[in-house]
Amino acid sequence: MVKVSISKEELGALPQVMFPGDIYIIDKMSMVNSAVRLLCKYDIIGFDTETRPSFKKGRMHKVSLLQLSTPHECFLFRLNKIGMPAMLQDYLEDSTLLKVGLSVHDDINALKRLVDIDPDGFIDVQDLAKQHHISDISLQKIYAILFDERISKGQQLSNWEADQLSEAQQKYASIDAWACINIYKHLNSGQFVAENSKYYSEIEDEEIQ
């Protein structure tokens, strides 16, 4: 059986990826419609959410941030400040506007805890990765296998409800959404062949029991 995976040591040795585009923080209702209109011009958008971490058992916060990225810019919608504006909800529910993310089901459930919403038009890059025999299906490892760059997870457990998002938070959040576009396009392009990857190996069936 074919397997494509990367070790922690190999991952740690890779250079860190940097977000190459512009970042826009959407924290006022007056900013929403122009941002969504721009997003609607693209065939596919990268998608992710962030939620303030809880360090108490049984306590869960509502989703704080929604990231929607084009290849060139990322819009950070601060849902903890603006809620879910109608035009943004319409965008998320439009089946003709494709949004690509990772573990999409979890993000959608997070949005449903915030507002009555029926998201549509979503693609999960984990499904594509599995089709290409990639067995490590975290965003960090999929991206590393495809592009030989490492996504830093240093801001993952930071406070996403902070009054002001730090520059490090903004870049982290933007990369997570933007990376999904790159993964989707690369896997759909036919450029990636599992057997040609330097992370490729063949394993016996009993190894995956």
Instruction: Report the pLDDT value the prediction gives residue 153, as an integer from 0 to 100.
Output: 86
pLDDT value of residue 9: 96
pLDDT for residue 55? 59
Q: Please report the pLDDT score of residue 208 as a whole number.
A: 47
> Tell me, what CATH number does 104's domain have?
3.30.420.10
| Total count of domains within the chain | 1
Note the pLDDT of residue 72.
Answer: 95
**pLDDT tens, position by position, for the chain (209 residues)?**
779 999 999 999 999 999 999 999 999 999 999 999 999 999 999 999 999 886 567 667 789 999 999 999 999 999 999 999 999 999 999 999 999 999 999 999 999 999 999 999 999 999 999 999 999 999 999 999 999 999 998 888 789 999 999 999 999 999 999 999 999 999 999 999 999 999 998 876 545 44
pTM listed for this prediction: 0.92
Question: What local confidence, expressed as pLDDT, does residue 1 receive?
Answer: 75
pLDDT digits (tens, 9 = 90+) for 19-45: 999 999 999 999 999 999 999 999 999
Range of the domain at 201: 2-208
Given a contact cutoff of 8 angstroms between Cβ atoms, the answer to whether 84 and 78 are in contact is no
Residue 14 CA to its chain's centroid (Å): 20
